Amino acid sequence: MPKRLIIFLFLSLSGCGQNQSIEQVSGKTMGTTYLIKSQGAQASQQQVDVRLNQINKIFSSWDKSSEISQLNRQPINHSIAISAELSQVLNAAIQVHQQTDGYFDPGLGQLIDVWGFGAISVLTNPDRKAIATALNNSSIVQTTLEGQKFSKKADVYLNLSAIAKGYAVDEIYKLLDQQGIERFMVEIGGEIKAKGSWTIGIETPAGQDPIEIKLMNKSIATSGNYRQYFVWEGERYAHILDPHTGVPVNSDLFSASVIHPSNLLADAYATAMMSMGSKKAIELAQRLKLKTVLILEKCDNPCLSKNVVKIGL
């Protein structure tokens, strides 16, 4: 599901070697932009673009010829072989689905399309009947994955947009590491992974200073939709769906950020937290020992400074 970018760089390195110049490579991918900053050597943009194009051809819901688009057109009760990469990411998504009590669901493609949050544009918001119909075909539990064999028992559309960018960040990090670059930072659509020590900032509500986070060989993913609200049935909603109801959430969270060695997992956990709200997000972070920064838009109970809840930091 779509996420607004609310993370940015302070454009500074921490630690030694700060006098060395910082090289930069940037471009477009996966419906967004990417940025690579490195110290001591420049990344090969050609190799980066080739790898990103490979990933896009697997996971893009906007590309009708991508592997996931072709998979979504397959009939029900029909087993099909999928690539090792799609199997790997889908397995991780299913794991997060189980860990988050279904608040992260890679099978929401039908609902995402009905609401117009994905590749299909819609002129009006759906009615309750259309939502119910889509909801009946929008859960990963209606699918089976055995190794690299995938099948579905209902007309489920996979949508991995809330985890694929995190996977791409991990893969480009791996590529640059293999190139021998000693200090670098990879950012795709707001998801960041750093080798060495870098300082980034998490955006806060208007009038508040950004929250500084130092990343040392770690990644961070942030989910938040505070700029993308719409009115439906007289209420204000964000562009983040509750997989249990099929309706966008009216969350008390401004944003959720997760710091983790895997950007793929950080991406998925942050999305789930925005869907479930602050109380369950705090419980999830504590149960899984996730380093988390939650910024509350609504704060009925006493919070830390500026409505910020930090867990494990």
In a domain, 1, yes or no: no
pTM over 0.95: no
In a domain, 124, yes or no: yes
For residue 245, give the CATH number of its domain: 3.10.520.10
In a domain, 192, yes or no: yes
Q: Which of 278, 193, 270 is nearest to 224 (CA)?
A: 270
* 24 CB-near residues (< 8 Å, 6+ apart): 35, 36, 37, 38
Buried b (16+ CB within 10 A) or exposed e, 17-44: eeeeebeebeeebbeeebebbbbeebbe
Per-position pLDDT tens, the chain of length 313:
333 344 444 444 444 455 568 899 999 999 899 999 998 888 999 999 999 999 999 999 999 999 999 999 999 999 999 999 999 999 999 999 999 999 999 999 999 999 888 777 777 778 899 999 999 999 999 999 999 999 999 999 999 999 999 999 999 999 999 999 999 999 998 899 999 999 988 887 766 778 889 999 999 999 986 555 556 555 556 678 999 999 988 788 989 999 999 999 999 999 999 999 999 999 999 999 999 999 987 555 444 455 889 999 8
Provide the phi-psi class of 178: left if phi over 0, else alpha when psi is between -120 and 50, else beta. Answer: alpha
Tell me the residue type at 196: G
In a domain, 303, yes or no: yes
The pLDDT, as a whole number, for residue 254 is: 87
The pLDDT, as a whole number, for residue 125 is: 79
Please report the sign of the dihedral spanned by the C-alpha atoms of residue 243, residue 248, residue 250, residue 251.
positive
In a domain, 172, yes or no: yes
For residue 307, how many C-alpha atoms fall within 13 Å in the half-sphere facing its CB? Answer: 20
Q: How many domains does the chain have?
A: 1
Domain of 214, in residue numbers: 7-311
In a domain, 169, yes or no: yes
Tokens 């690579």, residue located: 36
In a domain, 2, yes or no: no
Tokens 């964000």, residue located: 238
Tell me the residue type at 17: G
In a domain, 39, yes or no: yes
